[in-house]
Structure 1
Amino acid sequence: MQVLTRPWGAMHYHCDTAAAGPTVVFATSLGTDLRLWDAVLPLLPGIRALRFDMRGHGLSDAPEPLGLSIADLAEDAAALIEVVAGGPVVFVGLSIGGMIGQVLAVERPDLLRALVLSNTAAKMGSADSWNARITAIQAGGMASVADAVIERWFAAPFRAAPELAPWRNMLIRTPVAGYAAACGAIAAADLGATTARIGQPTLVIAGAEDGASPPDLVQATAALIPGAAFHVIPGAGHLPPVETPAAFAALLIPFLKEHAR
Protein backbone atom coordinates (compact mmCIF):
# COMPACT_ATOMS: atom_id res chain seq x y z
CA MET A 1 0.00 0.00 0.00
CA GLN A 2 1.08 3.55 -0.70
CA VAL A 3 1.08 6.04 2.17
CA LEU A 4 2.00 9.71 2.47
CA THR A 5 2.86 10.84 5.99
CA ARG A 6 1.05 14.05 6.91
CA PRO A 7 1.17 16.00 10.20
CA TRP A 8 -2.17 14.43 11.16
CA GLY A 9 -1.18 10.84 10.26
CA ALA A 10 -1.11 8.41 7.33
CA MET A 11 -2.77 9.40 4.05
CA HIS A 12 -3.54 6.37 1.90
CA TYR A 13 -3.28 6.78 -1.86
CA HIS A 14 -2.87 4.68 -4.97
CA CYS A 15 -0.91 5.66 -8.06
CA ASP A 16 -0.72 3.60 -11.23
CA THR A 17 3.05 3.79 -11.29
CA ALA A 18 3.34 1.57 -14.36
CA ALA A 19 1.37 4.03 -16.49
CA ALA A 20 3.40 6.36 -18.70
CA GLY A 21 0.83 9.06 -19.42
CA PRO A 22 0.12 12.40 -17.75
CA THR A 23 -0.93 12.33 -14.10
CA VAL A 24 -4.60 12.86 -13.34
CA VAL A 25 -5.63 13.17 -9.68
CA PHE A 26 -9.04 11.90 -8.54
CA ALA A 27 -10.62 13.18 -5.30
CA THR A 28 -13.59 11.45 -3.71
CA SER A 29 -16.89 12.43 -2.17
CA LEU A 30 -17.98 12.47 1.45
CA GLY A 31 -18.53 8.92 2.67
CA THR A 32 -16.60 7.14 -0.09
CA ASP A 33 -13.02 6.04 -0.62
CA LEU A 34 -10.74 5.81 -3.64
CA ARG A 35 -12.73 2.84 -5.00
CA LEU A 36 -15.23 5.45 -6.18
CA TRP A 37 -13.22 5.61 -9.41
CA ASP A 38 -12.82 1.86 -10.06
CA ALA A 39 -15.33 1.65 -12.92
CA VAL A 40 -14.12 4.80 -14.69
CA LEU A 41 -10.36 4.36 -14.76
CA PRO A 42 -10.29 1.40 -17.19
CA LEU A 43 -12.18 3.66 -19.62
CA LEU A 44 -9.47 6.35 -19.47
CA PRO A 45 -6.41 4.89 -21.17
CA GLY A 46 -3.13 6.73 -21.43
CA ILE A 47 -3.16 8.43 -18.04
CA ARG A 48 -1.35 7.91 -14.75
CA ALA A 49 -4.19 7.86 -12.22
CA LEU A 50 -3.46 9.15 -8.72
CA ARG A 51 -6.29 8.81 -6.18
CA PHE A 52 -6.42 9.08 -2.44
CA ASP A 53 -8.52 8.61 0.68
CA MET A 54 -9.09 11.94 2.36
CA ARG A 55 -8.70 12.26 6.14
CA GLY A 56 -11.01 9.98 8.07
CA HIS A 57 -12.06 7.96 5.01
CA GLY A 58 -10.96 4.64 3.56
CA LEU A 59 -7.57 3.58 4.87
CA SER A 60 -6.36 7.06 5.84
CA ASP A 61 -6.08 8.05 9.49
CA ALA A 62 -8.96 9.97 11.04
CA PRO A 63 -8.51 13.58 12.18
CA GLU A 64 -9.78 15.28 15.29
CA PRO A 65 -13.60 15.21 15.28
CA LEU A 66 -14.18 18.85 14.31
CA GLY A 67 -12.26 21.90 13.11
CA LEU A 68 -11.29 20.57 9.67
CA SER A 69 -11.53 22.97 6.70
CA ILE A 70 -11.60 22.58 2.93
CA ALA A 71 -8.29 24.47 2.90
CA ASP A 72 -6.79 21.76 5.14
CA LEU A 73 -7.93 19.08 2.69
CA ALA A 74 -6.56 21.11 -0.22
CA GLU A 75 -3.17 21.23 1.54
CA ASP A 76 -3.24 17.43 1.76
CA ALA A 77 -3.94 17.19 -1.97
CA ALA A 78 -1.18 19.68 -2.75
CA ALA A 79 1.33 17.70 -0.70
CA LEU A 80 0.38 14.50 -2.51
CA ILE A 81 0.76 16.13 -5.93
CA GLU A 82 4.15 17.57 -5.01
CA VAL A 83 5.51 14.28 -3.66
CA VAL A 84 4.02 11.80 -6.11
CA ALA A 85 3.37 13.72 -9.34
CA GLY A 86 6.19 16.22 -9.08
CA GLY A 87 4.46 18.69 -11.34
CA PRO A 88 1.14 20.06 -12.58
CA VAL A 89 -1.78 17.65 -13.00
CA VAL A 90 -5.39 17.57 -14.08
CA PHE A 91 -7.50 17.42 -10.93
CA VAL A 92 -10.86 15.62 -10.97
CA GLY A 93 -12.92 16.21 -7.84
CA LEU A 94 -16.41 15.00 -6.97
CA SER A 95 -18.61 16.58 -4.27
CA ILE A 96 -16.29 17.59 -1.40
CA GLY A 97 -13.47 16.52 -3.73
CA GLY A 98 -14.67 19.23 -6.10
CA MET A 99 -14.60 21.77 -3.29
CA ILE A 100 -11.00 20.74 -2.65
CA GLY A 101 -10.29 21.30 -6.34
CA GLN A 102 -11.84 24.75 -6.30
CA VAL A 103 -9.55 25.87 -3.47
CA LEU A 104 -6.48 24.13 -4.88
CA ALA A 105 -6.89 25.74 -8.31
CA VAL A 106 -6.64 29.21 -6.78
CA GLU A 107 -4.23 28.64 -3.90
CA ARG A 108 -1.81 26.41 -5.84
CA PRO A 109 -2.27 27.19 -9.54
CA ASP A 110 1.25 25.90 -10.19
CA LEU A 111 0.00 22.37 -9.45
CA LEU A 112 -3.07 22.27 -11.73
CA ARG A 113 -3.13 22.24 -15.51
CA ALA A 114 -6.90 21.88 -15.63
CA LEU A 115 -9.84 21.08 -13.39
CA VAL A 116 -12.88 18.79 -13.52
CA LEU A 117 -15.63 19.56 -11.01
CA SER A 118 -18.28 16.85 -10.69
CA ASN A 119 -21.47 17.06 -8.65
CA THR A 120 -20.17 19.89 -6.51
CA ALA A 121 -20.73 23.56 -5.83
CA ALA A 122 -19.12 26.62 -4.28
CA LYS A 123 -21.53 26.20 -1.37
CA MET A 124 -23.32 22.94 -0.61
CA GLY A 125 -26.22 22.99 1.82
CA SER A 126 -26.68 25.09 4.93
CA ALA A 127 -24.57 25.02 8.06
CA ASP A 128 -27.68 24.03 10.02
CA SER A 129 -28.30 20.97 7.84
CA TRP A 130 -24.70 19.78 8.13
CA ASN A 131 -24.62 20.36 11.87
CA ALA A 132 -27.84 18.38 12.20
CA ARG A 133 -26.20 15.50 10.34
CA ILE A 134 -23.16 15.66 12.62
CA THR A 135 -25.45 15.48 15.65
CA ALA A 136 -27.33 12.53 14.17
CA ILE A 137 -24.26 10.41 13.46
CA GLN A 138 -22.66 11.21 16.79
CA ALA A 139 -25.82 9.97 18.50
CA GLY A 140 -26.80 7.06 16.27
CA GLY A 141 -23.80 6.18 14.12
CA MET A 142 -23.51 6.18 10.34
CA ALA A 143 -26.45 3.79 9.87
CA SER A 144 -28.79 6.46 11.23
CA VAL A 145 -28.29 8.63 8.11
CA ALA A 146 -27.49 5.96 5.54
CA ASP A 147 -30.91 5.62 3.91
CA ALA A 148 -31.32 9.37 3.46
CA VAL A 149 -27.81 9.71 2.02
CA ILE A 150 -28.30 6.79 -0.38
CA GLU A 151 -31.50 8.39 -1.67
CA ARG A 152 -29.61 11.58 -2.47
CA TRP A 153 -26.68 9.67 -3.97
CA PHE A 154 -28.38 7.42 -6.50
CA ALA A 155 -31.25 7.43 -8.96
CA ALA A 156 -34.11 5.01 -8.28
CA PRO A 157 -33.00 2.22 -10.67
CA PHE A 158 -29.60 1.91 -9.00
CA ARG A 159 -31.13 2.00 -5.53
CA ALA A 160 -33.14 -1.11 -6.51
CA ALA A 161 -30.10 -2.98 -7.87
CA PRO A 162 -27.93 -5.45 -5.95
CA GLU A 163 -24.90 -3.31 -6.78
CA LEU A 164 -26.14 -0.79 -4.22
CA ALA A 165 -25.11 -2.89 -1.22
CA PRO A 166 -21.32 -2.30 -1.33
CA TRP A 167 -21.81 1.47 -1.53
CA ARG A 168 -24.14 1.48 1.46
CA ASN A 169 -21.60 -0.66 3.31
CA MET A 170 -18.81 1.75 2.38
CA LEU A 171 -20.84 4.65 3.74
CA ILE A 172 -21.81 3.07 7.06
CA ARG A 173 -18.26 1.85 7.66
CA THR A 174 -16.83 5.35 7.32
CA PRO A 175 -15.51 6.42 10.75
CA VAL A 176 -17.91 8.78 12.49
CA ALA A 177 -15.04 11.12 13.40
CA GLY A 178 -13.86 11.38 9.80
CA TYR A 179 -17.34 11.85 8.37
CA ALA A 180 -18.27 14.45 11.00
CA ALA A 181 -15.07 16.40 10.41
CA ALA A 182 -15.74 16.51 6.66
CA CYS A 183 -19.34 17.59 7.28
CA GLY A 184 -18.00 20.42 9.41
CA ALA A 185 -15.64 21.48 6.63
CA ILE A 186 -18.49 21.62 4.12
CA ALA A 187 -20.72 23.49 6.59
CA ALA A 188 -18.12 26.23 6.98
CA ALA A 189 -17.26 26.53 3.29
CA ASP A 190 -18.57 29.29 1.03
CA LEU A 191 -16.18 29.31 -1.91
CA GLY A 192 -17.94 31.73 -4.26
CA ALA A 193 -15.21 34.37 -4.18
CA THR A 194 -12.48 31.73 -4.53
CA THR A 195 -14.19 29.87 -7.36
CA ALA A 196 -14.68 33.06 -9.38
CA ARG A 197 -10.88 33.38 -9.50
CA ILE A 198 -10.24 29.99 -11.11
CA GLY A 199 -8.17 30.48 -14.25
CA GLN A 200 -7.53 26.91 -15.42
CA PRO A 201 -9.59 25.22 -18.14
CA THR A 202 -12.54 23.74 -16.27
CA LEU A 203 -15.12 21.07 -17.02
CA VAL A 204 -18.17 20.95 -14.75
CA ILE A 205 -20.42 17.87 -14.61
CA ALA A 206 -23.81 17.35 -12.96
CA GLY A 207 -26.13 14.38 -12.60
CA ALA A 208 -29.72 14.88 -13.70
CA GLU A 209 -31.00 12.85 -10.72
CA ASP A 210 -28.59 14.23 -8.11
CA GLY A 211 -30.36 14.86 -4.82
CA ALA A 212 -27.26 16.16 -3.03
CA SER A 213 -26.05 18.75 -5.55
CA PRO A 214 -28.87 19.32 -8.07
CA PRO A 215 -27.95 20.38 -11.62
CA ASP A 216 -29.06 23.99 -11.11
CA LEU A 217 -26.72 24.33 -8.13
CA VAL A 218 -23.80 22.84 -10.06
CA GLN A 219 -24.53 25.02 -13.09
CA ALA A 220 -24.55 28.15 -10.92
CA THR A 221 -21.04 27.26 -9.78
CA ALA A 222 -19.94 26.65 -13.36
CA ALA A 223 -21.21 30.13 -14.22
CA LEU A 224 -18.74 31.63 -11.74
CA ILE A 225 -15.74 30.21 -13.63
CA PRO A 226 -14.68 32.04 -16.80
CA GLY A 227 -14.97 29.76 -19.83
CA ALA A 228 -16.08 26.68 -17.91
CA ALA A 229 -17.93 23.97 -19.85
CA PHE A 230 -21.02 22.46 -18.22
CA HIS A 231 -22.67 19.10 -18.89
CA VAL A 232 -25.50 17.14 -17.30
CA ILE A 233 -25.47 13.32 -17.39
CA PRO A 234 -29.01 11.92 -17.82
CA GLY A 235 -29.99 9.25 -15.33
CA ALA A 236 -27.07 9.91 -13.01
CA GLY A 237 -27.32 10.82 -9.36
CA HIS A 238 -24.59 12.23 -7.14
CA LEU A 239 -21.98 9.61 -8.06
CA PRO A 240 -21.85 9.32 -11.87
CA PRO A 241 -18.57 7.34 -11.81
CA VAL A 242 -20.57 4.59 -10.10
CA GLU A 243 -23.91 4.78 -11.90
CA THR A 244 -22.91 5.93 -15.38
CA PRO A 245 -19.16 5.39 -15.76
CA ALA A 246 -19.23 5.24 -19.58
CA ALA A 247 -21.06 8.56 -19.84
CA PHE A 248 -18.72 10.12 -17.29
CA ALA A 249 -15.64 8.86 -19.13
CA ALA A 250 -17.03 10.12 -22.44
CA LEU A 251 -16.95 13.66 -21.04
CA LEU A 252 -13.49 13.29 -19.52
CA ILE A 253 -11.70 11.76 -22.52
CA PRO A 254 -11.77 14.78 -24.88
CA PHE A 255 -11.06 17.15 -21.99
CA LEU A 256 -8.02 15.14 -20.93
CA LYS A 257 -6.77 14.85 -24.50
CA GLU A 258 -6.83 18.64 -24.79
CA HIS A 259 -5.50 19.63 -21.38
CA ALA A 260 -3.60 16.79 -19.69
CA ARG A 261 -0.28 17.40 -21.46
Structure 2
Amino acid sequence: MDDIGVAVTIPDTVRRIVSLVPSLTEAVAATVPEALVGATDWCSHPADLDVTRVRGTKNPDLETVVRLRPDVVLANAEENRPQDLAALRAAGLAVWVTRIETLDEAFASLARMFLRACRTGRPAWLDAAEAAWRRPAPERRRTAVVPIWRRPWMVVGRDTFAGDVLRRLGVDNLYAGHAERYPRIPLAELVERRPDLVVLPDEPYAFAPGDGPECFPGLRCALVSGRLLTWYGPSLTEAAHALPRALG
Protein backbone atom coordinates (compact mmCIF):
# COMPACT_ATOMS: atom_id res chain seq x y z
CA MET A 1 0.00 0.00 0.00
CA ASP A 2 1.20 3.49 -0.79
CA ASP A 3 0.59 6.49 1.50
CA ILE A 4 -3.03 6.92 0.37
CA GLY A 5 -3.89 3.26 0.89
CA VAL A 6 -3.82 2.13 -2.74
CA ALA A 7 -2.35 -1.28 -3.47
CA VAL A 8 0.53 -0.99 -5.94
CA THR A 9 2.17 -3.91 -7.72
CA ILE A 10 5.91 -3.23 -7.97
CA PRO A 11 8.38 -5.56 -9.70
CA ASP A 12 11.07 -7.12 -7.51
CA THR A 13 13.72 -5.14 -9.37
CA VAL A 14 13.09 -1.51 -10.30
CA ARG A 15 15.26 -0.21 -13.13
CA ARG A 16 13.16 2.67 -14.51
CA ILE A 17 11.57 5.42 -12.40
CA VAL A 18 9.59 8.50 -13.46
CA SER A 19 9.11 11.16 -10.79
CA LEU A 20 6.32 13.73 -10.98
CA VAL A 21 7.47 15.64 -7.87
CA PRO A 22 10.59 17.86 -7.73
CA SER A 23 11.58 16.87 -4.20
CA LEU A 24 11.13 13.17 -4.94
CA THR A 25 13.18 13.60 -8.10
CA GLU A 26 16.05 15.04 -6.07
CA ALA A 27 15.71 12.21 -3.56
CA VAL A 28 15.85 9.50 -6.24
CA ALA A 29 18.72 11.24 -8.06
CA ALA A 30 20.71 11.21 -4.82
CA THR A 31 19.99 7.54 -4.17
CA VAL A 32 19.55 5.56 -7.41
CA PRO A 33 20.39 8.05 -10.18
CA GLU A 34 20.79 5.31 -12.79
CA ALA A 35 17.11 4.38 -12.41
CA LEU A 36 15.66 7.87 -12.97
CA VAL A 37 14.44 8.16 -16.58
CA GLY A 38 11.83 10.93 -16.41
CA ALA A 39 10.99 14.03 -14.37
CA THR A 40 8.90 17.19 -14.62
CA ASP A 41 10.04 20.49 -16.07
CA TRP A 42 10.02 21.86 -12.50
CA CYS A 43 12.54 19.29 -11.25
CA SER A 44 15.51 21.63 -10.86
CA HIS A 45 17.75 19.52 -8.60
CA PRO A 46 20.30 18.22 -9.14
CA ALA A 47 21.31 20.98 -11.52
CA ASP A 48 22.85 18.56 -14.01
CA LEU A 49 19.81 16.28 -14.17
CA ASP A 50 19.68 14.77 -17.67
CA VAL A 51 16.44 12.82 -18.10
CA THR A 52 13.34 13.04 -20.29
CA ARG A 53 11.09 15.90 -19.22
CA VAL A 54 7.35 15.23 -18.93
CA ARG A 55 5.93 18.78 -18.47
CA GLY A 56 4.57 19.90 -15.11
CA THR A 57 3.26 18.40 -11.90
CA LYS A 58 -0.30 19.50 -12.71
CA ASN A 59 -0.23 18.76 -16.45
CA PRO A 60 2.17 15.85 -17.06
CA ASP A 61 2.59 14.56 -20.59
CA LEU A 62 0.94 11.21 -19.97
CA GLU A 63 1.87 9.77 -23.36
CA THR A 64 5.54 10.49 -22.76
CA VAL A 65 5.39 8.95 -19.29
CA VAL A 66 3.86 5.78 -20.73
CA ARG A 67 6.45 5.65 -23.53
CA LEU A 68 9.24 5.72 -20.95
CA ARG A 69 8.02 2.33 -19.67
CA PRO A 70 8.73 3.04 -15.99
CA ASP A 71 8.61 0.26 -13.44
CA VAL A 72 7.08 2.83 -11.10
CA VAL A 73 5.84 6.42 -11.24
CA LEU A 74 6.38 8.47 -8.07
CA ALA A 75 3.74 11.06 -7.23
CA ASN A 76 2.34 13.07 -4.32
CA ALA A 77 -1.23 13.53 -3.11
CA GLU A 78 -0.89 17.33 -2.98
CA GLU A 79 1.34 17.98 -5.97
CA ASN A 80 -0.35 15.78 -8.57
CA ARG A 81 -3.94 15.57 -9.82
CA PRO A 82 -5.92 12.37 -9.10
CA GLN A 83 -7.21 12.20 -12.68
CA ASP A 84 -3.67 12.14 -14.10
CA LEU A 85 -2.62 9.39 -11.73
CA ALA A 86 -5.76 7.41 -12.55
CA ALA A 87 -4.95 7.69 -16.27
CA LEU A 88 -1.45 6.35 -15.68
CA ARG A 89 -2.84 3.43 -13.69
CA ALA A 90 -5.35 2.76 -16.48
CA ALA A 91 -2.40 2.59 -18.89
CA GLY A 92 -0.99 -0.24 -16.81
CA LEU A 93 1.66 1.69 -14.86
CA ALA A 94 2.47 1.27 -11.18
CA VAL A 95 1.89 4.62 -9.45
CA TRP A 96 3.18 5.14 -5.90
CA VAL A 97 1.61 8.17 -4.18
CA THR A 98 3.19 9.83 -1.15
CA ARG A 99 1.28 11.95 1.37
CA ILE A 100 3.56 14.17 3.45
CA GLU A 101 2.34 16.95 5.74
CA THR A 102 4.91 16.81 8.57
CA LEU A 103 8.62 16.19 8.99
CA ASP A 104 8.00 12.88 10.73
CA GLU A 105 5.74 11.80 7.87
CA ALA A 106 8.48 12.77 5.42
CA PHE A 107 11.04 10.54 7.11
CA ALA A 108 8.64 7.59 7.31
CA SER A 109 7.21 8.04 3.82
CA LEU A 110 10.58 8.35 2.11
CA ALA A 111 11.92 5.28 3.89
CA ARG A 112 8.89 3.25 2.73
CA MET A 113 9.10 4.67 -0.79
CA PHE A 114 12.70 3.58 -1.28
CA LEU A 115 12.11 0.17 0.25
CA ARG A 116 8.75 -0.67 -1.34
CA ALA A 117 8.53 1.43 -4.50
CA CYS A 118 12.16 1.82 -5.55
CA ARG A 119 13.37 -1.55 -4.23
CA THR A 120 16.52 -0.09 -2.74
CA GLY A 121 18.00 0.36 0.70
CA ARG A 122 17.53 3.25 3.07
CA PRO A 123 19.75 6.12 1.84
CA ALA A 124 22.43 7.53 4.11
CA TRP A 125 21.21 11.09 3.47
CA LEU A 126 17.87 10.17 5.07
CA ASP A 127 19.65 9.15 8.26
CA ALA A 128 21.57 12.43 8.18
CA ALA A 129 18.35 14.42 7.70
CA GLU A 130 16.63 12.72 10.63
CA ALA A 131 19.65 13.33 12.82
CA ALA A 132 19.75 17.01 11.83
CA TRP A 133 16.15 17.51 12.99
CA ARG A 134 16.47 15.40 16.16
CA ARG A 135 16.60 18.30 18.59
CA PRO A 136 14.14 20.00 20.96
CA ALA A 137 12.07 22.88 19.66
CA PRO A 138 13.36 26.32 20.70
CA GLU A 139 11.92 27.70 23.93
CA ARG A 140 11.34 31.07 22.31
CA ARG A 141 8.28 30.98 20.09
CA ARG A 142 7.33 33.49 17.43
CA THR A 143 4.30 33.97 15.21
CA ALA A 144 4.38 34.23 11.42
CA VAL A 145 2.36 34.53 8.27
CA VAL A 146 3.73 32.72 5.23
CA PRO A 147 2.61 34.17 1.88
CA ILE A 148 3.10 31.88 -1.11
CA TRP A 149 1.47 34.09 -3.75
CA ARG A 150 0.40 37.65 -4.44
CA ARG A 151 -2.31 39.01 -6.75
CA PRO A 152 -4.19 37.48 -4.98
CA TRP A 153 -2.41 37.02 -1.69
CA MET A 154 -2.36 33.41 -0.56
CA VAL A 155 -0.75 32.00 2.56
CA VAL A 156 0.18 28.69 4.13
CA GLY A 157 -2.81 27.40 6.12
CA ARG A 158 -3.59 24.15 7.90
CA ASP A 159 -1.82 20.78 7.71
CA THR A 160 1.17 21.74 5.57
CA PHE A 161 4.73 20.50 5.51
CA ALA A 162 6.04 24.10 5.54
CA GLY A 163 3.96 24.88 8.61
CA ASP A 164 5.35 21.87 10.46
CA VAL A 165 8.93 22.76 9.52
CA LEU A 166 8.44 26.26 10.93
CA ARG A 167 6.77 24.87 14.07
CA ARG A 168 9.81 22.69 14.70
CA LEU A 169 11.92 25.85 14.48
CA GLY A 170 9.83 27.72 17.06
CA VAL A 171 7.68 29.66 14.57
CA ASP A 172 3.90 29.29 14.81
CA ASN A 173 1.86 29.91 11.67
CA LEU A 174 -1.04 32.26 12.46
CA TYR A 175 -3.18 30.52 9.84
CA ALA A 176 -2.49 26.96 10.94
CA GLY A 177 -6.08 26.73 12.17
CA HIS A 178 -7.66 27.98 8.96
CA ALA A 179 -10.17 25.71 7.25
CA GLU A 180 -8.16 25.79 4.01
CA ARG A 181 -4.63 24.64 3.38
CA TYR A 182 -3.74 27.63 1.21
CA PRO A 183 -6.33 30.34 1.84
CA ARG A 184 -6.64 33.65 0.07
CA ILE A 185 -6.21 36.39 2.66
CA PRO A 186 -6.42 40.16 1.96
CA LEU A 187 -3.10 41.94 2.42
CA ALA A 188 -4.65 44.35 4.92
CA GLU A 189 -5.58 41.45 7.18
CA LEU A 190 -2.09 39.97 7.01
CA VAL A 191 -0.58 43.30 8.09
CA GLU A 192 -3.18 43.90 10.80
CA ARG A 193 -2.38 40.57 12.50
CA ARG A 194 1.10 41.94 13.32
CA PRO A 195 3.04 38.68 13.21
CA ASP A 196 6.56 38.53 14.58
CA LEU A 197 7.72 37.36 11.14
CA VAL A 198 6.54 37.47 7.56
CA VAL A 199 8.18 34.45 5.94
CA LEU A 200 8.60 34.98 2.19
CA PRO A 201 9.80 31.92 0.23
CA ASP A 202 11.09 32.17 -3.33
CA GLU A 203 8.63 29.56 -4.63
CA PRO A 204 5.98 29.08 -5.86
CA TYR A 205 5.96 32.89 -6.05
CA ALA A 206 9.47 34.28 -6.32
CA PHE A 207 9.46 36.77 -3.46
CA ALA A 208 12.64 38.86 -3.47
CA PRO A 209 14.10 41.87 -1.62
CA GLY A 210 12.29 44.25 -3.98
CA ASP A 211 9.15 42.18 -4.41
CA GLY A 212 7.20 41.43 -1.25
CA PRO A 213 8.78 43.03 1.85
CA GLU A 214 7.58 46.51 0.84
CA CYS A 215 4.00 45.32 1.39
CA PHE A 216 4.61 44.74 5.12
CA PRO A 217 5.85 48.07 6.52
CA GLY A 218 7.02 47.85 10.12
CA LEU A 219 7.10 44.05 10.11
CA ARG A 220 10.17 41.83 10.06
CA CYS A 221 10.38 39.94 6.76
CA ALA A 222 12.49 36.82 6.29
CA LEU A 223 13.29 35.81 2.71
CA VAL A 224 13.87 32.05 2.62
CA SER A 225 14.54 29.32 0.10
CA GLY A 226 11.29 27.66 -0.94
CA ARG A 227 13.20 24.45 -1.55
CA LEU A 228 14.46 24.39 2.03
CA LEU A 229 11.02 25.22 3.42
CA THR A 230 8.83 22.90 1.34
CA TRP A 231 10.93 20.09 -0.20
CA TYR A 232 11.38 16.71 1.48
CA GLY A 233 14.56 14.95 0.44
CA PRO A 234 18.31 15.55 0.68
CA SER A 235 17.64 19.28 1.19
CA LEU A 236 16.23 18.51 4.65
CA THR A 237 19.71 18.32 6.16
CA GLU A 238 20.66 21.73 4.81
CA ALA A 239 17.27 23.14 5.83
CA ALA A 240 17.81 22.21 9.48
CA HIS A 241 20.85 24.51 9.60
CA ALA A 242 20.08 27.19 7.00
CA LEU A 243 16.46 28.02 7.85
CA PRO A 244 17.13 29.10 11.44
CA ARG A 245 19.75 31.54 10.15
CA ALA A 246 17.38 32.89 7.49
CA LEU A 247 14.58 33.35 10.02
CA GLY A 248 16.92 35.27 12.34
TM-score, normalised to structure 1, is 0.28
| Structure with more contact order per residue of length (Cα contacts < 8 Å, sep ≥ 6) | 1
